[in-house]
Amino acid sequence: MILITGGARSGKSRFAEQIAEKRGGDVLYIATSAVTDTEMAERIRFHQQQRPAHWHTFESHRDLGDVVRLKQTEFPTIVIECITTLITNLLFDMAGETEPEAMDFTAIEEHILAQITELADAAQHCETEVIIVTNEVGMGIVPDNLLSRRFRDIAGRVNQQLAAAADDVYLVVSGIPVPVKTSA
């Protein structure tokens, strides 16, 4: 399992795609984004245009461990983009329209971490290379609102869990991948 992290527009997606391209063969691209507005639709369209046309896309943010287990024999490489979007979607799946002050962040985080544990376990024990893309959200200022602070906390713990499980971890800075952890 390879984990690629970095800031927004750092080049992490492109680096993940380059690794997948070098491996050759069919690639399953698991997209965790959902179209929530026109701006998000444009972002998704941009990413779709960047990927090779022959890649297979699966759109979901739930039970990705099961997806990896089911698809591992069909594809030599699976790319999952992006964990922080997955976290956002899982958070709002559970919280719905609840105001942040009334959200049960403990239950939400437990649910998200259970999903990530299943994903990491599947990625570690499958026949294919799994490349996971996530955002590094802990290098900026402390957010000024409860929801953003809790999201950052959950994302930070998720990223730590994935990094611990990964064979290789890269931090992409201004388009340059910096190895953080390597299996070699």
Confidence of residue 33 (pLDDT cuts 50, 70, 90): confident
Q: What is the pTM of this model?
A: 0.93
Mean pLDDT over 171-183 rounds to 96
Q: What kind of fold does domain 2-181 have according to CATH?
A: Rossmann fold (3.40.50)
Write out pLDDT tens, residues 46-105.
Answer: 878 878 888 999 999 999 999 999 999 999 999 999 999 999 999 999 998 999 999 999
Is 23:77 a contact under the CB 8 Å cutoff? yes
Active site residue 47: yes
Would the pLDDT of 43 be above 90? Answer: no
Write out pLDDT tens, residues 72-86.
Answer: 999 999 999 999 999
